[in-house]
Structure 1
Amino acid sequence: MPQILSSSILRIDLDAIRANYRTIADRVAPACAGAVVKANGYGLGAERVAAALYREGCRAFFVARLVEADTLRAVLDADADIFVLNGLDPGAEPRCAGAGHIPVFNSSSQVAAWRGLAVARGVALPAALQLDSGMSRLGLPLAEAERLARDPAFAREVDLRLVTSHLACGDEPDHPANAAQLAAFAAGRALFPGVPASLANSGGSFLPEDFHGDIVRPGVALFGVDPGPAATGLRPVAALHARILQIREVAAGTGVGYGLDHVASDRQRLATIGIGYADGWPRNLGGVGRAWWNGVPLPIIGRVSMDSLTIDISDPRAAALAEGDLVELIGPSQSLADVARDAGTIPYEILTRLGARHARIFVEAGQSLDVGDRA
């Protein structure tokens, strides 16, 4: 029924996600592999994705915000650790501690608030520290980390579970910044002997063993996107199709869509399909991108609207297309990377913008695990 109620269908292959996780985990062993499932599991559905990864053996999950951690806790057993990468907003400390999440602190103020709660409760509270190893985004400067390491009260108040940092150029294996960040992170993690360390993101998971530390944090690689030239063996995860709402023939000189940006130079057979920028399909693919049907490219003409777009189906090989049929937007004929290239962006953005109106079909062990019309 949800497939009937929705004009677009997003198929998520949980077997492929599990296989990608295993590929990375096997590659980085003896280091462990966690999973970054922020932004609603990169747009695909964090609860289903995380549960599948848990079944594959993952026990460390990373999100960006506290609300995302709350969502995951409902579907993961107590032995799974959930790290909140952005740390906590002021006042959120009791909520986080009560739920058993592990905040990743990036500033002195975040650390101080957590320590204050620990003192008030008379117990060391679990947390992680992110160090700025050279990206200049989030993380404590080395001097601040040294101050904490020298403070005996810090060890009594904070149960430090992880020391982490983030690679700026992990998808570029030969970039000199990688070696510089590795050296800086080595100096920072040495301040906290015995505490597990994590530097490698998706790209870093395919860098040499020195970068793997104790745990790697793949994100987009789990969803089949190659994070750099060294990445191999990853399977595509998402397939997106949209339904033809209407077919019409227009004469030469006819304008199409908002602004009448496209004017037919000859007679054309057109199809309007039920997907638009409100569903995460990039508006700038108008006149540039395409849909596909049975290996036949169907150019997008005119502007992408909020709820629909128009494709040219004049190709004789598409003559059998009819109203109600589905055309491919992501799949065997057009990868996420292809769409991102045409839109002038990166696969991360395409994935995370996929909207809640797609009927989501989760497939595992060759069977439909769940059919839902919301994320």
Structure 2
Amino acid sequence: MNTLAEAVVDLEAIAGNVRAITSVTGTDLMAVVKADGFGHGAVQVARAALRAGATWLGVTSAAEALTLRAAGVTAPTLSWLHRPTDDFGKLINAGVDVGVSTTTHLHSVVDAAHLLGVPAMVQLKADTGLSRNGAAGDDWPELVGWARKYEREGGIRVRGVWSHLIDADLPGTPELNRQVATFEEALRIARSAGLDPDLVHLANSAAALSAPRTRFDLCRIGIALYGVDPFGASGPGEFGLQAAMTLRTSVVNVKRVPAGTGVSYGPEHVTDAPTTLALLPLGYADGLPRVTGGRAAVWLGGRRCPIVGRIAMDQCVVDAGDLPVTIGDPVVVFGPGEGDQNPPTVVEWARWADTNPHEILTGIGPRVARDHLHERARIS
């Protein structure tokens, strides 16, 4: 583990974001803690979100769901991406709802339930336009029909019907309205077949905050849970979200160099004046996108200093100008804040890398230590 760098996770910010989102939606929330809680720590984030009022947890895989259960987190949990050959018995025994998108998967879940002698809790996913997982076209009535048959026989209980939006960044657009209408038709077909789901959910972070028609019974909150405004604001934005992660390190070497000094591989950067170069023990193996060399900046000595030259696997170089930098000085790579007079935010890093904040957060490597602030007693 790279103990010279750490990702500090403020769990009170997570809890505050849950409360802020709930105040807008007025619905139950599913805290999405896949990908190790977007790099923040799935178990710690789950407990903080539940403490603040979230009622469900969402994960991608059986392994992620079972990790939560092994940590003593017993809250209702949906796991939604599986191979039909997965051991669904483990999920059923753990009380995890299984997201089902095909009849092949449904048959496998029912087989596992029969072996255990208990019904499986499933949530059927309709494909309303994303063309990823979920059943679309004639596959949806077929899936619903089989689900109703198995439910009557006692093999499953259809607890939920759900889907995922293509892009909810622009509420009220024709595409969003079309998806909602498609989802409502899928729900009508399910109910006409005799299914009576307890939960109907469609909204992601952006839709939950801006498109009331998408909220239904439950909103699935991903990026907003971690304090990133889904509409691109660098700071809290109009919803008052607080960034939960601060990535920080310290200077491990300092060099005063003359003009004309090449920096890092290539070199792609050559100093145009005498300057001070500060070496940071973070590179692309730790989550700093290689393409951001020459674009990104960090907070050092009370101001933003640019990263110069190519980012390497384990380290990068910062041009500190004439700052009186010394070995051991603290550096903030990104954290809460807004504007040039504060440390960069993860939204800015995403722009520098031409990606989304999700990729930056989930890309922070495992050798970067996680330090969880305000971790409290366990909540299951």
Pair in the same fold by TM > 0.5: yes
Q: Tell me the equivalent position of 2:347.
A: 337
Contact 2:158 2:196 in 1 (8 A): no
Contact 1:115 1:154 in 2 (8 A): yes
After superposition, the C-alpha distances for 1:126-145 in whole angstroms (9 at most, x for unaligned) are 11111001111110124333
Q: Relative to 1, partners in 2 of residues 1:340 and 1:28: Cα closer, same or farther, differing over 3 Å?
A: same
Distance in 2 between residues matched to 1:70 and 1:358, nearest whole Å: 24
Distance in 2 between residues matched to 1:111 and 1:260, nearest whole Å: 56
Number of matched pairs:
359
Contact 2:260 2:273 in 1 (8 A): yes
Q: Tell me the equivalent position of 1:353.
A: 363
Is the aligned partner of 1:184 residue 2:187? no
Q: Tell me the equivalent position of 1:324.
A: 328
Give, in angstroms, the shift of residue 231 of structure 1.
Answer: 5.8
Give, in angstroms, the shift of residue 68 of structure 1.
Answer: 0.6
Superposition pairs of residues 1-375 of structure 1, within 5 angstroms: 6-29=3-26, 31-78=27-74, 80-151=75-146, 152-156=148-152, 157-190=155-188, 191-192=190-191, 193-195=195-197, 196-228=199-231, 232-314=239-321, 316=322, 318-319=323-324, 321-331=325-335, 332=337, 333-364=343-374
Q: Relative to 1, partners in 2 of residues 1:256 and 1:108: Cα closer, same or farther, differing over 3 Å?
A: same
TM-score by length of 1: 0.90
Q: Relative to 1, partners in 2 of residues 1:231 and 1:183: Cα closer, same or farther, differing over 3 Å?
A: farther
Contact 1:51 1:75 in 2 (8 A): no
Contact 1:169 1:175 in 2 (8 A): no
Distance in 2 between residues matched to 1:122 and 1:356, nearest whole Å: 40
Contact 1:131 1:142 in 2 (8 A): no
Contact 2:172 2:211 in 1 (8 A): no
Give, in angstroms, the shift of residue 285 of structure 1.
Answer: 1.2
Amino acid at match of 1:354: I
Task: Give 3-state SS (helix, strand or coil) of 1:259's partner.
Answer: coil
Distance in 1 between residues matched to 2:346 and 2:228, nearest whole Å: 8
Amino acid at match of 2:349: V
Between 136-145 and 86-95, report the one with greater CA deviation. 86-95
Distance in 1 between residues matched to 2:63 and 2:366, nearest whole Å: 18
Give, in angstroms, the shift of residue 88 of structure 1.
Answer: 4.1
Q: Tell me the equivalent position of 2:340.
A: none
Amino acid at match of 2:326: A
Contact 1:362 1:369 in 2 (8 A): no
Task: Give 3-state SS (helix, strand or coil) of 1:34's partner.
Answer: strand
Task: Give 3-state SS (helix, strand or coil) of 1:260's partner.
Answer: coil
Distance in 2 between residues matched to 1:55 and 1:299, nearest whole Å: 39
Distance in 1 between residues matched to 2:211 and 2:305, nearest whole Å: 42
Task: Give 3-state SS (helix, strand or coil) of 1:24's partner.
Answer: helix
Q: Relative to 1, partners in 2 of residues 1:292 and 1:369: Cα closer, same or farther, differing over 3 Å?
A: farther
Amino acid at match of 2:332: E
The runs of 5 or more residues in structure 1 that have no matched partner are 371-375
Calculate percent identity across the aligned residue pairs: 32
Contact 1:36 1:62 in 2 (8 A): yes
Distance in 2 between residues matched to 1:128 and 1:249, nearest whole Å: 61
Task: Give 3-state SS (helix, strand or coil) of 1:7's partner.
Answer: strand
Give, in angstroms, the shift of residue 119 of structure 1.
Answer: 3.5
Q: Relative to 1, partners in 2 of residues 1:233 and 1:108: Cα closer, same or farther, differing over 3 Å?
A: same
Q: Relative to 1, partners in 2 of residues 1:117 and 1:291: Cα closer, same or farther, differing over 3 Å?
A: same
Amino acid at match of 2:205: S
Distance in 1 between residues matched to 2:97 and 2:309, nearest whole Å: 48
After superposition, the C-alpha distances for 1:36-58 in whole angstroms (9 at most, x for unaligned) are 01000001111111111122222
Contact 1:142 1:188 in 2 (8 A): no
Distance in 1 between residues matched to 2:59 and 2:142, nearest whole Å: 27
Q: Relative to 1, partners in 2 of residues 1:16 and 1:269: Cα closer, same or farther, differing over 3 Å?
A: same
Distance in 1 between residues matched to 2:242 and 2:249, nearest whole Å: 22
Distance in 2 between residues matched to 1:185 and 1:87, nearest whole Å: 22
Give, in angstroms, the shift of residue 118 of structure 1.
Answer: 2.8
